[in-house]
Amino acid sequence: MTSQPSSAPGPGGGRAGPAADVGRWFSTATRNPLDGPGPTRGGPRLPAWGPMEGAQYGHRSTDAEIDAALELLRGREVAVLTGAGMSTGSGLPDYRGRDAVPRSPMTYQEFMGHDLARRRYWARSTVGWEQFRGARPGPAHRRLAALSPDVFETTAVITQNVDGLHTEAGSDPVIDLHGRLDRVRCQQCEALSSRLALHRRMLAMNPELAARLPQLAADAAQAPDGDAEVDRTSSFRYPPCPLCGGILKPDVVFFGESARREVVSSAFAALEEATALLVLGSSLTVQSGLRFVRAAGRAGMPVVILNDGPTRADPVATVRVHGRLEDLLERWLSRAGARR
Catalytic amino acids?
178
Preceding amide of 173 cis, omega within 30: yes
274-286: buried (b, 16+ CB within 10 Å) or exposed (e) per residue?
bbbbbbbbbbbbb
The enclosing H or E element of 319 equals: strand 319-322
Burial class (CB in 10 A: 0-12, 13-18, 19+), 99: middle
Q: Are strands 7-9 and 192-194 parallel, antiparallel or unpaired?
A: unpaired
Distance CA 159, CA 163 (A): 10
Burial class (CB in 10 A: 0-12, 13-18, 19+), 47: exposed
Distance CA 6, CA 88 (A): 8
Q: Closest Cα to residue 18, out of 179, 224, 167, 199?
A: 224
Preceding amide of 149 cis, omega within 30: yes
Distance CA 5, CA 138 (A): 12
Assess contact for 292 and 307: CB atoms under 8 A: no
Q: Closest Cα to residue 213, out of 197, 234, 199, 196?
A: 199
